[in-house]
Amino acid sequence: MYWWDSSYDYNPGPDLGKIKAKLLSIAFTDDLINAVELKALETELKRVPNVRLVMMPPTDKTLGHQNLTQPQLWGAHLGEFMKGL
């Protein structure tokens, strides 16, 4: 309950433009919690100066929101990003 209660009114939007560090955002199109159909991620991240957004399509190996626990799916993107730091 704490997890849900602590996040329902969270809004990072007003401060996104203040981010100075390079940012990598990886999203999976089969994530039902952060639904890509809403285009919220693409819209909000336009305000971050140094962002790289990767949208990953679903495969037989993806698990929706649980993809965050599957580094074999997104690790190569993270590795490339880290090389550029």
List the beta bridge partners of residue 51. 23
Q: Which domain holds residue 51?
A: 15-83
Residue 48 lies in a domain: yes
| Phi and psi based region of residue 57 (left: phi greater than 0; alpha: psi -120 to 50; beta: remaining) | beta
Q: Report CA torsion sign: 59, 63, 64, 65.
A: negative
Q: Is residue 43 part of a domain?
A: yes
Look at residue 76 and tell me if it is in a domain: yes
Could you tell me the pLDDT band of residue 12, with boundaries at 50, 70 and 90?
A: confident
4 falls within a domain: no
Q: What does the pLDDT read at residue 73? A: 95
CA atoms within 13 A on the CB side of 81: 16
Confidence label for 60 from pLDDT (cuts 50, 70 and 90): very high
How many domains would you assign to the chain? 1
